[in-house]
Chain A
């Protein structure tokens, strides 16, 4: 078990550019979550996948954000036309379960800086 991994760990981009982050969950975990954490705040939920299906999206996930989880394995989070307000740590978490009792395991995050 290598844990949840995220790539890249850091990304600096200019406003208006598109960026894509990748998350590799723990093998066999059927659930995958994306969160955003800004400085001095706790993580905020963005979206949830059960296997390959995106079942929940937060109102925080504007039209510029899109997430995928093809084949129910790794996931990608893309931000189009980045804005300075998108600067944050993007966290991925995975879990295994069929109810609400499962424990989420977090990755190290991708820190995005938009100049």
Chain B
């Protein structure tokens, strides 16, 4: 079974600064997808960014980028120019590509990101 580990329960960053959230995963599969989801307080979870394992190029979405190290099974999220609206729980998630989507996402425990004004 796959597992996802987020070793930072909480991170704090000054507004406008850069912060990196860590995520490692364990799998024996070679083809899979990785995601970062954001869950603001009392609001629904939204996708921040995703990465296909077969792609070597790191995904980027505006201020959000990932550092995907397949051999190390590491998938960190970098948030540049942090904004107050970035404050939320961030979840790293894994999905197998082997079963055509029948598997749900496997989530880590999350990192609570605090933005200091």
Contacts and interface: CB of A to CB of B under 8 A. Distances in A.
A38 B38 CA distance: 16
Contacts of A40: 109-110
B11 interface: no
A56 B52 contact: no
Contacts, number: 73
Interface stretch (A14-22, A66-74, A79-87, A92-100): A92-100
- Identify whether the interface residues of A are mostly helix, strand, loop, or mixed: loop
Interface string A46-85: 1010100001101000000000000000000000000000
Nearest 4 CB-CB pairings of A with B: A45-B104, A42-B107, A106-B45, A100-B101
Interface residues of A, number: 32
A115 B107 CA distance: 28
A55 B103 CA distance: 9
B108 A42 contact: yes
A100 B105 contact: no
A90 interface: no
A48 B104 contact: yes
Interface string B60-75: 0000000000000000
A91 B104 contact: no
B109 A41 contact: yes
7 contacts: A33-B105, A35-B105, A42-B91, A48-B104, A100-B96, A100-B97, A100-B101
A2 interface: no
B46 A106 contact: yes
A31 B101 contact: yes
B22 interface: no
